[in-house]
Amino acid sequence: MSLADLLPDYVTTRRWYRAKARTLRQLQIADVLPIQEIDSEILVLRLDYTDGEADIYLLPVSKGDGSQSEDVIHDAVFDPAFRDWLLSAIGRESKIEGQNGGLQASHTSAFTGAPKLESSVGRAEQSNTSIIYQDRFILKLFRKLEPGVNPDIEIGRFLTERKFQHTPAVLGTIEYRSKQGDLHAAAILQQFVPNRGDAWKYTLDSLDEFLRRVAGSHPPELPSQHPLDLVSEDPPQLIGSYLESARLLGARTAQMHTALTDPNGGPDFAPEPFTPSDGEKLYQDMLSQADIAFELLRRKNCAPELLRVEHRVTERFAPLRNHPVRSVRIRHHGDYHLGQVLYTGDDFMIIDFEGEPARTLAQRREKALSMRDVAGMIRSFQYAAYSAGKDEAWADFWTAWVSATYLKAYLDAAGDSPFLSTDPQERRILLDAFLLQKALYEVAYELNNRPDWVRIPVRGILGLIR
């Protein structure tokens, strides 16, 4: 049996394999890039499905001794020699050639050298593979290769050049170029930021302490659960120190958007007006997201209480077509949530600018309204609250006040920036629409990956349309 015949069982069971809802028809080895000094290879795999376009994946492999002294092949990221090679290749700006393309490593001006360092593979579940080099560097290996400019590298470089202090500096990249001229990002090397884990874990820990403290009591009645209604109110101190964290995270979000709103950033970064045609396109995109989510719900016979009010969900997008939007479109994070932020102990660092995996590379590079990122973070607060415990009354209370605190800090820090309109009605229309779109995206994601979690976005949607 050939290696290509053996690989599907391995590839399709990996966390980084993104096509779990599709049926694989064939896997082919499209290119082999030999690393002779360490007896390893980087395989470029073409995966064809029964429907839709093919995917390209990257799989480095190394040879090792089996239990019967036979050669076995394993994923090279677990081989220290291969991890050493990746870092040294960026330092040397190495190039290796295959039959159908070549791999080019390079470093940025922020890179100051790479001594030999102990390394380990990151344990967090994610759609790529992270390699940590002691307390100096972190390298992200992109498993799925997509032709074009990778926004994680592009935005990371942009912020590094502007010395934005709240995202890790980009130090180097590895790219694969096919013989046809298509460029694919294969890896990004960044500054390692000492941290206590991501903001998701930190938030869950804080929530656990809060829910233990209020257990057995009833939350005070809220005047409204909408964060825009609560921003002018003083939040209750019983939530605790996490309010200060929410304020800081709101400020950091606005500072990120400010750094990305550079009129001298060139055509890929200069802000652009939001036109009526942009509003129509956004409206249609949101309807498409709703169609995907509701079709999946029907197919899996899930959440009948939501299916009964489908028309009320889609009606919430209508104001995008008839209300003028004065905010400008900017480059943004694109998949902003608590898992995309590191908690250092006294601050936050924003990471992973790849955008939503379900979108094409071109879609992830499009400029959008900054409120999309804000809505993503607010949805993440609710996710945390509902996953932390079963007391939904206290979860709603915590989510409302933390979201309002985050949003107020964001609005204050953004000030009169062009990415944020001063029109209260526009702010509400955009925030509500993006919250709903994100929750619909979550429905589809959970049904395809974690069906037991779909209750969270379903409850979120029902709360938004009541």
Kindly report, residue by residue over 433-452, the tens digit of the pLDDT: 999 999 999 999 999 889 99
Mean pLDDT value of segment 86-90: 96
Instruction: Give CATH for domain 199-465.
Output: 3.90.1200.10
Burial class of residue 109 in the structure, from the number of CB atoms within 10 Å of its CB (0-12 exposed, 13-18 middle, 19+ buried): exposed
Interval 351-383: pLDDT, tens: 999 998 878 899 999 999 999 999 999 999 999
- What is the residue extent of each domain of the chain? 3-191, 199-465
What was the pLDDT predicted at 344?
A: 97
What was the pLDDT predicted at 186?
A: 97
| Alpha-carbon radius of gyration of the chain | 23
pTM reported for the whole predicted model: 0.91
At 244, which helix (H) or strand (E)? helix 242-260
More confident residue, 253 or 5: 253
Determine the Cα–Cα distance for residues 250 and 124; give it in Å rounded to an integer: 25
Does residue 285 register a pLDDT over 70?
yes
Mean pLDDT value of segment 7-22: 91
Does residue 67 register a pLDDT over 80?
no
Q: Which two tokens stand for residue 107?
A: 């470093």
Is residue 98 within 8 Å of 197, Cβ to Cβ?
no
Q: What is the pairing mode between strands 328-329 and 341-343? A: unpaired
Does residue 253 register a pLDDT over 60?
yes
Determine the Cα–Cα distance for residues 99 and 178; give it in Å rounded to an integer: 9
More confident residue, 225 or 387: 387
Q: Which residues of 8-36 are buried (b: 16+ CB within 10 A; e: fewer)?
A: eeebeeeebbbbeeeebeebeebbebebe
Terminal-to-terminal C-alpha distance of the chain: 58
Is residue 36 within 8 Å of 75, Cβ to Cβ?
no
Is residue 421 within 8 Å of 261, Cβ to Cβ?
no
Q: Which residues of 260-296 are buried (b: 16+ CB within 10 A; e: fewer)?
A: bbeeebeeebebeebeeebbeebbeebbebbebbbeb
- Cβ atoms < 10 Å from Cβ of 436: 23
Q: Which residues of 394-422 are buried (b: 16+ CB within 10 A; e: fewer)?
A: bbbbbbbbbbbbbbbbbbebbeebbbbbe
Tokens 């994946």 sit at which residue?
57
Burial class of residue 139 in the structure, from the number of CB atoms within 10 Å of its CB (0-12 exposed, 13-18 middle, 19+ buried): buried
SS3 for 126? coil
Q: Which two tokens stand for residue 229?
A: 């209604």
Determine the Cα–Cα distance for residues 422 and 262; give it in Å rounded to an integer: 20
- Cβ atoms < 10 Å from Cβ of 116: 9
Mean pLDDT value of segment 322-336: 95
Q: How confident is the model at residue 66 (pLDDT cuts 50, 70, 90)?
A: very low
Amino acid at 323: H
Mean pLDDT value of segment 48-55: 95
Q: How confident is the model at residue 68 (pLDDT cuts 50, 70, 90)?
A: very low
Does residue 454 register a pLDDT over 70?
yes
Give the CA diameter of the chain: 72
What mean pLDDT, rounded, does the chain reach? 93
Mean pLDDT value of segment 237-250: 96
What was the pLDDT predicted at 391?
A: 84
Is residue 232 within 8 Å of 391, Cβ to Cβ?
no
Q: How confident is the model at residue 210 (pLDDT cuts 50, 70, 90)?
A: very high
What was the pLDDT predicted at 351?
A: 96
Lowest mean pLDDT among 162-176, 181-195, 209-223, 397-411: 209-223
Does residue 125 register a pLDDT over 90?
no
Does residue 417 register a pLDDT over 70?
yes
Does residue 311 register a pLDDT over 90?
yes
Q: How confident is the model at residue 1 (pLDDT cuts 50, 70, 90)?
A: low
Mean pLDDT value of segment 5-33: 93
What was the pLDDT predicted at 127?
A: 82
Does residue 399 register a pLDDT over 50?
yes
Minimal CA–CA distance to 219: which of 15, 398, 97? 398
pLDDT more than 90, % of the chain: 85
Determine the Cα–Cα distance for residues 364 and 400; give it in Å rounded to an integer: 29
